[in-house]
Chain A
Amino acid sequence: MTDPRLNIIPERFKGVKNIIAVSSGKGGVGKSMVSVSLALAIRDKGFTVGLLDLDFTSPSTHIILGAPSLFPSEDKGIVPPITNGLHYMSIVHYSADKPAPLRGSDQSDAIIELLAITRWEKLDYLIIDMPPGLGDATLDMIRLIPRITFLVVSTPSRLAFESVKKLLLLLIELKIPIKGVAENMVMEESNYIKTEIQKLDLRYLTKIAFNKEVEDSIGDPDKIVSSKFHKDVSKILDFI
């Protein structure tokens, strides 16, 4: 008759004040790095923050956080473990970091299962690292998560932005709130992305300079927090 998980999902987010899905139309633009850095920046402002990695086929926030082997506890559902001061949930808790070859409908089912059984503590912010594109995960989150907002990441590349623009147009059409667009991996001065964002009547959040040090900070949250990358990402705090 019906899937009993769907009805309970809004209930699971009742204690979460702000839900921000970090998304992009394109893969490889740095969503996961931005998600982790933003979560750490919000944490350092004294807020309670959750981080949910929904990139089921390529989860990577556990590598960025240097938190490879965590397991949620159980209390009338599952309770995300805390790492680096973040309430942290990822499919990697269950996939043992092995490949998860999931078709769209299976990804959808896995997302629904995870959302239905995860009991978040009271959070000021939940940052969601989304998989790229306009596929099942994005559509499911729009359908299932009340009060979801999107923070979209692009690079200066026109190719990347063409995909990002499709996501933005979809969100605008569906009247889903958009915090704005962050431009990542900027190597030279150009106003192309900023101008395009303004044409859509959206906010240009920050310009994040390309920085080789970012690669060295993977797995070390303290290094991330002291990086130029993090300083650029932290400018997003003014808009959320």
Chain B
Amino acid sequence: MIVILKNESMTFPAMHEWALAEGIISTADKFAKENNITSITEIHIMIGELQQVEHDIVEFALEQLRTPLMKNTKFIIKAIPAKFKCRNCGHEWTFITGDFTEDVSEAIHFVPEMAHVFIKCPNCGSPDFEVSEGRGVWLQSIKGIKDD
């Protein structure tokens, strides 16, 4: 299935970014309702670079999925660089896009933990590392107008 970004006449495959956007919208809407927010003005989203999520597609999906509480919501997306720390030797390093084949990038894109299958510590070769920053997609904060 192909979706078309209206403002750029570019085509993108309807990737799993849509599923992530659904999670953001659903969570924000539920949170707003639980807290008597009648209009959400801003939603701040953090996207880790490890997953190589296409921000344009997330933004497009967010626009399409707006709920009645989000008529005037501004979506603010912040990219978080991915950092690793080796549990074996303590070495820390940064994820660099373009280091992997398309297959590996795609596997990590869908399930970031697949990094442990394909990435090793550049210092000692261990697969036992933690993704200290920039793993996935997080809802950082919501701003809105509340009924008194």
Contact = CB atoms under 8 A, between A and B. Distances in A.
B140 A1 contact: yes
Nearest to B87: A103
B117 interface: yes
A221 B100 CA distance: 35
Interface stretch (A13-21, A69-77, A140-148, A170-178): A69-77
A78 B49 CA distance: 20
Contacts of B134: none
Contact of B16 (A4, A77, A107, A110): A77
Contact of B23 (A8, A91, A101, A103): A8
Contacts of A84: none
Interface string A1-38: 11111111001000000000000000000000000000
Contact of B26 (A7, A94, A113): A7
Interface stretch (A114-122, A183-191, A192-200): A114-122
A8 B139 contact: no
A101 B86 CA distance: 13
B116 A102 contact: yes
Given A91-B111, A94-B110, A117 B117 contact: no
B24 interface: yes
A56 to B, nearest CB: 8
A116 B138 contact: no
Contacts of A116: 19-20, 23
Contacts of B30: 7
Contacts of B27: 2, 4, 6-8
Interface of A: 1-8, 11, 74-78, 91, 94-96, 98-103, 106-107, 109-110, 113-114, 116-117, 119
21 contacts: A3-B136, A3-B138, A4-B137, A5-B20, A5-B137, A11-B26, A74-B14, A76-B22, A77-B19, A91-B114, A95-B107, A95-B117, A99-B117, A99-B127, A100-B117, A103-B128, A106-B113, A113-B111, A113-B113, A117-B20, A117-B110
